[in-house]
Amino acid sequence: MSKDEDYRVKNAREGRALYVPGKTAEEDHAEAAKRRIEGMTVQHRLKLDFTKDEFAAVSSAADNVGAYLWEAASAFDLLADGIDHGAFSANDARLGATLRLLGLALEQRQAKAGDVLAMFGIRLRGAAE
């Protein structure tokens, strides 16, 4: 093996490994993140007209979305831990009832915040045209 030969290439040549030349997963993820960040830096100047009540509703809905998603993720994580640790089985009827209630809670949150954010999205798209 020459000094410049990569151990991955050597192992592949000797039949001990499979080597596909290209970027590592870390390099690929870093480039994708860089592309996403570059895509987010596009600047648009928009003028949106909202009443105080509309602005308060949009602001509140936007602030709460992250909390709602975290709460939902935490609830589902708790249920998954319960199954993993044998507290109940995946076939337990109580799990189905809990999931239905979680679904209803998410629908209620979406109905409240989702409509407000949808209205905001429509206004944003209209202002960008």
The residue ranges of every structural domain in the chain are 7-40, 52-128
Q: Average pLDDT of 56-72? A: 85
Residues 102 and 72: beta-carbon distance below 8 Å: yes
DSSP state of 16: S
Which tokens belong to 82?
């319960």
DSSP annotation string for 52-76 = HHHHHHHHHHHHHHHHHHHHHHHHH
Count helices and strands (H / E) in the chain. 5, 0
Q: Is 3 helix (H, G, I), strand (E, B) or coil?
A: coil
pLDDT of residue 61: 86
Share of the chain above pLDDT 70, in %: 88
pLDDT band at 25 (very low <50, low <70, confident <90, very high): confident
Is residue 20 pLDDT above 60, yes or no?
A: yes
**Rounded distance between C-alpha atoms, residue 29 and residue 34, angstroms:** 9
Q: Average pLDDT of 45-51? A: 82
Buried b (16+ CB within 10 A) or exposed e, 66-84: eebeeeeeebeeebeebee
